[in-house]
Amino acid sequence: MTQKKFQRMLYGGDYNPNQWPEETWSEDLRIFKKAAINSASVNIFSWAKIQPSEEVYDFSELDKIIAMLTADNYDIVLATATAALPAWMFKKYPEVGRTDYEGRQHKFGQRHNACPNSLVYQKFARRIASKLAERYGDNGNVTCWHVNNEYGGECFCENCEKAFRVWLQSRYGTIEALNEAWNMDFWGHRVYEWDEIVLPNALSEGIGYDDTAFAGISLDYRRFNSDSMLENYKMERDAIRAFDQETLITTNLMGTYKNLDYFKWAKEMDIVSWDNYPSYDTPPSYSAMCHDLMRGLKEGQPFMLMEQTPSQQNWQPYNSLKRPGKMRAQSYQAVAHGSDTVQFFQLKRSVGACEKFHGAVIAHAGHENTRVFKEVADLGHELANLGDQLLDSRTKSRVGIIFDWDNYWALEYTSGPNKDLTYVDQIHQYYQAFYDKQIAVDMISVDSDFSQYDVVVAPVLYLVKAGLAERLEAFVQQGGQFLTTFMSGIVNESDNVYLGGYPGPLRNMLGIWVEEIDALAPEQFNHSVFADGSVFKNNLLCDILHLEGAHSLASYQSDFYAGTSVVTNNQFGQGQAWYVGSQLEPAGIAHIVEQLAEAAHIKSLTKEDSGLEITTREKAGETFTFILNFQEKAQDLPVEFIGKTDLLSGEMLTKETSLASFDVVILK
Amino acid sequence: MTQKKFQRMLYGGDYNPNQWPEETWSEDLRIFKKAAINSASVNIFSWAKIQPSEEVYDFSELDKIIAMLTADNYDIVLATATAALPAWMFKKYPEVGRTDYEGRQHKFGQRHNACPNSLVYQKFARRIASKLAERYGDNGNVTCWHVNNEYGGECFCENCEKAFRVWLQSRYGTIEALNEAWNMDFWGHRVYEWDEIVLPNALSEGIGYDDTAFAGISLDYRRFNSDSMLENYKMERDAIRAFDQETLITTNLMGTYKNLDYFKWAKEMDIVSWDNYPSYDTPPSYSAMCHDLMRGLKEGQPFMLMEQTPSQQNWQPYNSLKRPGKMRAQSYQAVAHGSDTVQFFQLKRSVGACEKFHGAVIAHAGHENTRVFKEVADLGHELANLGDQLLDSRTKSRVGIIFDWDNYWALEYTSGPNKDLTYVDQIHQYYQAFYDKQIAVDMISVDSDFSQYDVVVAPVLYLVKAGLAERLEAFVQQGGQFLTTFMSGIVNESDNVYLGGYPGPLRNMLGIWVEEIDALAPEQFNHSVFADGSVFKNNLLCDILHLEGAHSLASYQSDFYAGTSVVTNNQFGQGQAWYVGSQLEPAGIAHIVEQLAEAAHIKSLTKEDSGLEITTREKAGETFTFILNFQEKAQDLPVEFIGKTDLLSGEMLTKETSLASFDVVILK
Amino acid sequence: MTQKKFQRMLYGGDYNPNQWPEETWSEDLRIFKKAAINSASVNIFSWAKIQPSEEVYDFSELDKIIAMLTADNYDIVLATATAALPAWMFKKYPEVGRTDYEGRQHKFGQRHNACPNSLVYQKFARRIASKLAERYGDNGNVTCWHVNNEYGGECFCENCEKAFRVWLQSRYGTIEALNEAWNMDFWGHRVYEWDEIVLPNALSEGIGYDDTAFAGISLDYRRFNSDSMLENYKMERDAIRAFDQETLITTNLMGTYKNLDYFKWAKEMDIVSWDNYPSYDTPPSYSAMCHDLMRGLKEGQPFMLMEQTPSQQNWQPYNSLKRPGKMRAQSYQAVAHGSDTVQFFQLKRSVGACEKFHGAVIAHAGHENTRVFKEVADLGHELANLGDQLLDSRTKSRVGIIFDWDNYWALEYTSGPNKDLTYVDQIHQYYQAFYDKQIAVDMISVDSDFSQYDVVVAPVLYLVKAGLAERLEAFVQQGGQFLTTFMSGIVNESDNVYLGGYPGPLRNMLGIWVEEIDALAPEQFNHSVFADGSVFKNNLLCDILHLEGAHSLASYQSDFYAGTSVVTNNQFGQGQAWYVGSQLEPAGIAHIVEQLAEAAHIKSLTKEDSGLEITTREKAGETFTFILNFQEKAQDLPVEFIGKTDLLSGEMLTKETSLASFDVVILK
């Protein structure tokens, strides 16, 4: 398969002309042109319109839209429209709807409402994707297929229950293997026939949405549900491929969204795309981590920023305006971390329904004389000037942080020791320490080739699947630096504990044994005292551990385990294995990461503590350095960059150059 | 129709002798007489007793009760008993019960439990109302019919779903009109047949009880549900009218209760009645606003205070006793704002079930030697002394504040910009400013004749139905003062945005264009700086607006829109249109309202800042002035009233007269 | 029936070898022996394993386990395994599952999942109990039968609904009596046929899980549900007794667990056993109260501590480790209050499912080299040294505090006056005052023989069943001291108010009349001023009362009832009746309890205010004194104990002896 590639940086977003009278379309395009918009995502929620009944398809309106965009040489991102079922389908085939966690079958409404295991839904979805590909697949302006939209949610209907049993048979082979994997003799759960198994929702194993009596079952249900939707995606993808072998196919992901194992999904996607919706108070390091995760899904391949809002969301509790310059800064942050597109949801605000207050390029005012449009247009022209020089450039990182959906699920299902422990927050704490030091990070999977990194960090590596410990050991033995934390090495893929002492299969490499795990209530804390005399608060969980070869970097200051180690380091082969036995305050994590980077001879991009975000992309021997100021005040540039020229302004940086709040420079 | 009128101020309340042995009734009446009670509401929840089975009716007990009250010349408020279904009806016809928002069909229990669209319920309710009217309609002591009780709640059963479709057909005519009204091409919702439409509950469009994916659908459901219950009311009313053409017919309302459009309901009621249950910390201005709203439902016609507690509620979290004098003060507050009755729930405390701790005239102690009874009795005799001189007197207001249920519903369904925005709170903030200045206010509907007012205030006039903007413009052009706020002029009756720029149809009159609406999180605020140098905090939402003819009264102090206008005034014809672009702290609203009143040459009833509530009612050329002290300390009377005589005490007010906490004077 | 008695103090706990390979069992026993463990509870959740299908039973594995334990002379606590249904039973007979409060029928999952009124469940449960008793009943090492496990929860299915009607017919005889008991004429609830009655859940009378429109119905449902499960217990017990007339039969209770009336249950149990799971911040007085309650269930008979964790729970929000010594201290606290066993959940940690992080004697590390094991082993040997001298010793108390499930249920169903009022907290406030003074307390039922006590305390004795007031009067008349509080004497067994004045049937003895009950919001309080000038905060509820013979001990300081009595004392016959009309701060309650103890000539075990827990058990004329230090710091022993010898250490206490944190001495 020789796939088409992007010929330019896509700048545009979701466009819904079929919600508006045809006579208004040309005015839209006039305005888009003023903003140098060159791309549009269309047909996203049009199923009910292009298929008014079971046997009738009507592409007349879509034909016009495609023709219009083609005539203006847009890059068209063409959606398959399957993310919201037509009402007639619900009426005739109620089984297409989902049954929720509470066991309630839903009727027509909202979106993302299809049962992934409904054969009726599958039939109709495959057919519409097929018809669209047949009709538009050879249009050269169709640059990308956008399958469905923001896959997510879950279904607990009887069809899913039956499909789950089939999935389990394929996974376990025998009922005995399943009983063992789920430790079914606990609470007398042993099953003898496959059809004794039921879905783990509020009517069976579920204890509130987030907890479960049997993590093994619920974990498999999450895998099954992710796989079920992935099968939906693959089915549409294959239907498209039957008519169009060249165009990129994607579906838009959602960062750290919990329900789907995106590493598994990305394998089936030609290019990753995602929707970035930070809240007014989301730290920039969090957005950066999400971008790096999206880039990591396909091992560094550039991705698409499929959606962001030009200014305001509508569905957050407090939908602040993006301050002047913030949207531009966030757009360049995406590019800095690997995006080859800057796309908005949405190009034009809806007149009604729940997203009508969501920001758009064309506001309800209907014209271009708005602050937001001006910023969109300025950015459009700036990107146009930049041209394709950044396109397909790559990020080089010597640090990998493991992100793993199995772990995410398993850790958060765990009953005990501390309910406040959440997965993404733990990952972000370590990511942030590198971010603050301007050290590039790849977000990697447990299946990554660790040898390409000097440092691998795996906070709360609770679930360690077969073979992983051995691969990590090999990495360290060959000179790598590996860091992990409390609640690591605890369970296997089925959430069964590795017996013999925590951290199980990681114990040998780490040179420690964790005898006990103390849980601290929110009002409680301890302190970690380092050899250099620095002291940091720690809380949440406190491992009580024994050194088995490792040496201590820091010890607890108080409580009955005062003086025992909380942070350790173990020489293992050519490398070192680090362990952090409690949740340290950010400065404490920074302190550890500093030592870790030193051990790996990794340096920050600047020695100054500027608070700036500084990252690079490389292409054909050229390095592009992105410097962003997410602080509220202007910031002088580090001395390293004086004398270089900013690609955006064309100006040379001098001693006097200071970067305003939300300002950006790109240096080559 | 020549309706009977009240011949005296009704003083009494809910009485439930059928819960007690007959031999106790005479003792009750002996006690009531000591309190000068002259009225009783009976038969409210007696359906199961007067109709023990489908075919049997038994009025023997009710006959005795009516006869007893008639013999003692009570004004009888006779209820139709339909607000709680008999258990036998549930058993035989389960469909009479409601299906809740979660989609669960309810079984027998509680009250207000009838599906409004159940034909079975309708048949039985009509029949019992008819039989009661036939039997008691010509009793001269039956002064008022009390249909059902506190209509409310909602139903999502299949019968309601079908009835909703019929209601929609009647509203929209064609499915195309409905698709447009609901903006159904958003999220591919287009329907082709009426029976594709489902009720918007948790199983379809609902997102938690308070939110919805399609505000247009949910808004129509609220209208439909309000109408369905109104049809229930009208059905009973008409059944009564077939036998009794003269007696007033009402049903008791609940102030700002959200689910029913009381302005629409009041058109079908002969007299408004309502139940007033402030909490221990409800500000008196809030109760005053509710009274004025109830008076406004029928354009100033006096209303009935149908229920209040003599001292304590039972269903609030903290059911404080009413301090000595507070019940009297609250009673006179009702009268001051237009009530011609003072009625309690309840005359006698129940022995069991969930309201047994609800205050009553006769406590569980069973006798009259209680503080609460003494206060009830003192008030009864005081009212008796007052006689009928206040009866049917009217309130004159030059200020109207718009209250609109469509707006209430639509505003609170809106997804974005700020989840903390609620309707009634916004209305009350402006009401309170007038209240604190002792300026009389009418609570009016969007259909009111504005020309009777000098000032019309419409906070958050989010939904502007067809014709309203024109009528407001005419009002201002002819010299009126109109004030509105942020989130106004946004949508039409179907919650579709008025395109072209906020505040849509109000923009011309206001002389502004609101380009953006910033949402502030709870920890954020800005300041509004007025021309006179006064500065007030503002928060919640901040409009960023352009002057298009209006002049600025105040500007933002900080953020990127510092210096732009937050409060504006526009000369429009002979009048002025005021706009307040953010939520100002109370002192800021007071500052604006002061200027507004000045512009309309409206003066406070006193120049002193006494903190007293001062209002008037007029009748036959006489003006009655009510002065109430809801403060915790005694308060000197403003000089304006010195020399006048208090109708209650008969004493002349002197310089030394001070009004104790919770005390009242009425001046003529 | 001549029952077997314990021959030694049981030390051990839940053991689940059937979750582990047979070859690991001997290693377990080797480790247990090192801890002097002499007892194991087995077969608790093994139903699915010993009955793989409807017709097949397989005891081969259990035979081995029993044989192994017998060979090592374990005291075996043999469970009937009926607390978790096999999956096959759900598949074939879905009705065995429960229907929850929301009306949802559950599928297979979790545990405690049997509908108590399912005939299918009953048949199978009876049969398995019977087979186990037949097979193992004559094994001399089977010391105790453990029926089911932690009975609890509830069911709202149709079978239960029908059974409820039968239960009601038996309770009330006629429908008329039921209508009166439930005050059904309130809200028109009168029923005419038994089958009009429905269960009071979310689909009928329930208002959220904790509230109800008809407390009478919900109260009866609680009684019915407790009785239904008790019938399940009795059914299994009787099935066992058919084969084994000698062995003790129990089921493990849960302290103040709300759903089951444990006083009624205890009558059917040979010995009480219970599971003690304090949180990290549970005050030791609370655990002490629970122990005393468990001892009180069978009027002082020693009980079994069936479960506690060696260190950590898993299901609490913050599962702190038990600090060194804390487990030992908690174990001796159980013994000090009447336990004849110290048993753990669990002897070995599970490898998977939701309790895998629950503490155990054998940790996941799998060996004995852990702090926790060492503490378990030290305690085991200490207990072994202690021998049987404490076995079957008794506690002597002159103070009884009434705990009553009817009251618990009724008080918490009450709508009003203050939602923050909870039953157990009120009881504990008074318990704590005695605990702090080292005065022994028996927790007693309303049916206890009060004459064995000098003082009876009954906080919030809201529900007073027939005959109770008379029995309390007799107690006081004969010289007893009786204390009760606000919200007492309000309702009868059906939650109908005693008319004529609060506190109803207690009024005569207390010599007061409570006219009003004020409810204070959380930010509000008053002060109680005592005759000696001491002043204490009070809040929550404030009775406004009249003295009718009683004299005042303290008065309110402020509000409109300032100066009226809040604490009173009434001489009644030879004794005194005390009343506390508000919730006083702990020091205030201590102040009252001091006077109360003085009046009864009851003295603390020491005059020193040491903060130590000091209690006694007696046997054959010997008194054992237990002194425990639950404080964080070491504490000198009171002078009274100097010169005595500690049974545990064998050392004599001197002036210098100080008790470390969590340390214990036992003196004879």
Report chain A's terminal Cα–Cα distance, integer Å: 34
B2 pLDDT tier (thresholds 50, 70, 90): low
Name the percent of chain B lying above pLDDT 70.
100
Considering the candidates A150, A236, A368, A613, report the single residue annotated as catalytic: A150
Which residue on chain C is closest to B369 by alpha carbon?
A: C515
- Cβ of B204 within 8 Å of Cβ of A323? The answer is no
Please list the ranges in chain C whose pLDDT falls under 70. Answer: 1-2
* Count of C-beta atoms within a 10 Å radius of residue A127: 13
Residue A43 has pLDDT above 70, yes or no: yes
pLDDT for residue B607: 87
The pLDDT tens digits of the residues spanning A66-109 come to: 999 999 999 999 999 999 999 999 999 999 999 999 999 999 99
Chains with 3 or more CB pairs closer than 8 angstroms to C? A, B
Kind plus residue range of the DSSP H or E element containing C663: none
State how far residue B583 is from chain A, nearest Cα, in angstroms: 15
- A466 by Cβ neighbours in 10 Å (0-12 / 13-18 / 19+) ranks as exposed
Return the number of CB contacts < 8 Å for A and B. Answer: 182
Which residue on chain B is closest to C499 by alpha carbon?
A: B364
- Residue pair A512/A568 in contact (Cβ under 8 Å)? The answer is yes
- Cβ of A352 within 8 Å of Cβ of B497? The answer is yes
- State how far the Cα of A339 lies from the Cα of C219, in Å rounded to an integer: 63
Q: Is A290 annotated among the ligand-binding residues?
A: no
Q: Is B354 annotated among the ligand-binding residues?
A: no
- State how far the Cα of A9 lies from the Cα of A384, in Å rounded to an integer: 8
Q: How large is the ipTM? A: 0.96
- Cβ of C186 within 8 Å of Cβ of B311? The answer is no
| Binding-site residue positions of C for substrate | 111, 149, 315
* Count of C-beta atoms within a 10 Å radius of residue C241: 18
How many angstroms separate the most distant Cα atoms in chain B? 76
| Residues of chain A found within 8 Å of residue B198, distances taken between Cβ atoms | 90, 107-109
- Residue pair B110/C204 in contact (Cβ under 8 Å)? The answer is yes
Chosen from A43, A62, A277, A318 to mutate, greatest number of chain B CBs within 10 A? A318
- Residue pair B618/B390 in contact (Cβ under 8 Å)? The answer is no
- Residue pair B250/B269 in contact (Cβ under 8 Å)? The answer is yes
The pLDDT tens digits of the residues spanning A411-432 come to: 999 999 999 999 999 999 999 9
CATH topology of domain A399-599: Rossmann fold (3.40.50)
- Cβ of A515 within 8 Å of Cβ of C365? The answer is yes
The alpha carbon dihedral of B544, B549, B554, B557 has a sign of positive
| Residues of chain C found within 8 Å of residue B358, distances taken between Cβ atoms | 416
Q: Is B315 annotated among the ligand-binding residues?
A: yes
pLDDT for residue C3: 78
- A209 by Cβ neighbours in 10 Å (0-12 / 13-18 / 19+) ranks as exposed
- State how far the Cα of C347 lies from the Cα of A510, in Å rounded to an integer: 29
Under DSSP, the state recorded for C243 is T
Selected residue with higher pLDDT from B2 and B400: B400
Residue A1 has pLDDT above 60, yes or no: no
- State how far the Cα of C84 lies from the Cα of C46, in Å rounded to an integer: 8
Cis peptide before C302 (omega within 30 of 0): no
- State how far the Cα of B70 lies from the Cα of B140, in Å rounded to an integer: 8
- Residue pair A188/C84 in contact (Cβ under 8 Å)? The answer is yes
Retrieve residue C91's tokens.
């598949």
- State how far the Cα of C78 lies from the Cα of C15, in Å rounded to an integer: 11
Which residue on chain A is closest to B216 by alpha carbon?
A: A353
C307 included as an active-site residue: yes
Superfamily of the domain at C10-85+111-152+224-386: Glycosidases (3.20.20.80)
- Please name the residue ranges forming H helices in C113-157: 119-136
- Cβ of A109 within 8 Å of Cβ of B202? The answer is no
Residue A37 has pLDDT above 90, yes or no: yes
**Beta-bridge partners for C341:** C10
- State how far the Cα of A278 lies from the Cα of C124, in Å rounded to an integer: 56
The pLDDT tens digits of the residues spanning B98-128 come to: 999 999 999 999 999 999 999 999 999 999 9
How many angstroms separate the most distant Cα atoms in chain A? 77
From the list C105, C281, C314, the residue facing A416 with the nearest CB is C314
The pLDDT tens digits of the residues spanning A164-211 come to: 999 999 999 999 999 999 999 999 999 999 999 999 999 999 998 999
Kind plus residue range of the DSSP H or E element containing A390: none
pLDDT for residue B4: 86
From the list A191, A205, A415, the residue facing C315 with the nearest CB is A415
Considering the candidates C95, C205, C236, C307, report the single residue annotated as catalytic: C307
From the list A18, A87, A313, the residue facing B185 with the nearest CB is A18
Q: Which amino acid is at A548?
A: E
Chosen from A175, A218, A415, A515 to mutate, greatest number of chain C CBs within 10 A? A415
Q: Which CATH number fits domain A613-667: 2.60.40.1180, 3.30.70.20, 3.40.50.300, 3.40.190.10?
A: 2.60.40.1180
* Count of C-beta atoms within a 10 Å radius of residue C61: 15
- State how far the Cα of C324 lies from the Cα of C375, in Å rounded to an integer: 8
- Residue pair C213/B109 in contact (Cβ under 8 Å)? The answer is yes
What φ, ψ does residue C412 adopt, rounded to 5°? -80, -15
Retrieve residue C360's tokens.
């155990």
Q: What value does the CA radius of gyration of chain C take, rounded to a whole number of Å? A: 26
C231 included as an active-site residue: no
Chosen from C101, C102, C187, C419 to mutate, greatest number of chain B CBs within 10 A? C187
* Count of C-beta atoms within a 10 Å radius of residue C235: 19
| Residues of chain B found within 8 Å of residue A350, distances taken between Cβ atoms | 183, 186
- Please name the residue ranges forming H helices in A404-467: 405-413, 423-436
Q: Is B144 annotated among the ligand-binding residues?
A: no
Residue A505 has pLDDT above 60, yes or no: yes
- Cβ of C521 within 8 Å of Cβ of B109? The answer is no
Residue B26 has pLDDT above 80, yes or no: yes
- Residue pair A445/A390 in contact (Cβ under 8 Å)? The answer is no
- Please name the residue ranges forming H helices in C195-314: 215-241, 262-266, 284-297
| Residues of chain C found within 8 Å of residue B19, distances taken between Cβ atoms | 183, 185-186
Q: Which amino acid is at B522?
A: P
Half-sphere exposure at residue C280, Cβ-oriented, CA atoms within 13 angstroms: 21
- Residue pair B570/B577 in contact (Cβ under 8 Å)? The answer is yes
From the list C18, C357, C370, the residue facing A415 with the nearest CB is C357
Chosen from A112, A354, A358 to mutate, greatest number of chain B CBs within 10 A? A354
Q: Using the structure block, give the residue that is written with the tokens 């990753």.
A: A272
The pLDDT tens digits of the residues spanning A527-560 come to: 999 999 999 999 999 999 999 999 999 999 999 9
Which residue on chain B is closest to C514 by alpha carbon?
A: B365
State how far residue A102 is from chain B, nearest Cα, in angstroms: 10
What φ, ψ does residue B441 adopt, rounded to 5°? -130, 140
DSSP per-residue string spanning C365-434: T-SS-SHHHHHHHHHHHHHHHHTTTTTT-B---SEEEE--HHHHHHHHH---SBTT--HHHHHHHHHHHH
Domain extents in chain A: 10-85+111-152+224-386, 158-220, 399-599, 613-667
- Cβ of A193 within 8 Å of Cβ of C88? The answer is yes
- Cβ of B497 within 8 Å of Cβ of A364? The answer is yes
State how far residue B119 is from chain A, nearest Cα, in angstroms: 25
CA proximity to B272, closest of B281, B282, B264: B264
Q: Using the structure block, give the residue that is written with the tokens 């409905």.
A: B178
| Residues of chain A found within 8 Å of residue B541, distances taken between Cβ atoms | none
- State how far the Cα of C530 lies from the Cα of C580, in Å rounded to an integer: 12
- List C-alpha distances in Å: B165 to A111, B183, B224, B265: 22, 17, 10, 22
Q: In sequence order, which residues have a C-beta less than 8 Å from that of residue B55 and are 6 or more positions away?
A: none
CA proximity to C288, closest of C339, C341, C359, C343: C339
- State how far the Cα of C222 lies from the Cα of C219, in Å rounded to an integer: 5
- State how far the Cα of A239 lies from the Cα of A82, in Å rounded to an integer: 13
- State how far the Cα of B231 lies from the Cα of B223, in Å rounded to an integer: 12
Considering the candidates B154, B236, B307, B375, report the single residue annotated as catalytic: B307
- Residue pair B157/B95 in contact (Cβ under 8 Å)? The answer is yes
